[in-house]
Amino acid sequence: MSELGDLLAEARSGNRRSLSRLLTLVEEGHNPPIERGIGSSLGITGPPGVGKSSLIGKMIDVWVRRGESVAVLAVDPSSPRSGGALLGDRMRMTNADSSDLVFIRSLATRNHPGGLMDCLTPMVDILSECGWDNILIETVGAGQSEIRVVAFADRILLVDGPDRGDIIQAEKAGIMELADLIVINKSDLPEAERAAKAVKSALSVAEDEFTPEVLLVSAHSGMGVEELVDELENTTTSSERERLRVRERLISAWDSALLTSPELDDILQALEKGSITLLDAVDSIRKDG
């Protein structure tokens, strides 16, 4: 049996070290000996500073009390120079990570376009194969990563704050059109109710067969978190959202093909020197593919 097969067998039996090693190999580009597309996950996204990690910690507490296991893939941005990342989400979930029912894996974006990597899909499949009941993907919460998460998750939870500026950013990004459930965190603050009404108003004018629920929660006090977990079990998506997911998966696959092209370094050097145009570069990559 190959190393990947051995690690998968050990991970299935509950060996967390083998699971971590297996995910590392997948992150490095190895293909796991597993059927693709068997796992399902919840993508959690939203603007920076709205308390996504803190809210995930409270959600984990609920699942653990119910005897359900939770695996979290927490994506942190990489430095464009060193390629390193702070990986700070794990620090905000310290208590949750102490349970045998919880597995948290921090991932650096490695400057992948959209802030999310193609290896997330096989990682979700591995975690599902190993029996994790709830699989979460937390995005870096900035820019295109808010949209790109739909390429990797079956359902999308959008977390917003009571500040109207956060809501406007979400509207601009288009993530509100893709969310299956929306929560306003920090609901103990005065503007939370007004923010929830603003979101509902924005959703009411959208031409969509499906309108997501808008809930008020507080990661600080835990208010509404149990109801949020219950609502997630009943949340479905629409056919329009499924079409957008397929589109984002295709774009993600193209990005991955571009970054792994053997001609990429030569093309970048040629662009830097001005010996070719961007159109020439695109044509070259297409021919190489």
Q: Looking at the domain assignment, is residue 105 inside a domain?
A: yes
pTM given for the model: 0.81
Q: What is the pLDDT at residue 95?
A: 54
Whether residue 191 is contained in a domain is answered as yes
Query: Could you report the average pLDDT of every consecutive run of 10 residues in the chain (289 residues)?
Result: 88 95 90 79 87 93 95 71 46 61 84 61 93 91 60 86 62 69 90 86 71 91 95 82 78 77 89 93 78
| Residue 13, domain member (yes or no) | no
Q: Which range marks the domain in which residue 192 is found?
A: 40-119+131-238
Q: Which residues in the chain belong to E strands, given as ranges?
A: 42-45, 70-76, 102-108, 134-138, 155-160, 181-184, 213-216
With respect to residue 163, please indicate whether it lies within any of the assigned structural domains: yes
pLDDT score for 268: 93
CATH of the domain at 97: 3.40.50.300
Instruction: State the pairing for strand pair 155-160/134-138.
Output: unpaired
Q: Is residue 274 part of a domain?
A: no
Whether 21 maps to a domain, the answer reads no
In a domain, 287, yes or no: no
| Among 88, 67, 52, 95, residue whose Cα is nearest residue 225 | 52
Residue 277 domain flag:
no
| pLDDT at residue number 82 | 40
Q: Give the number of domains in the chain.
A: 1
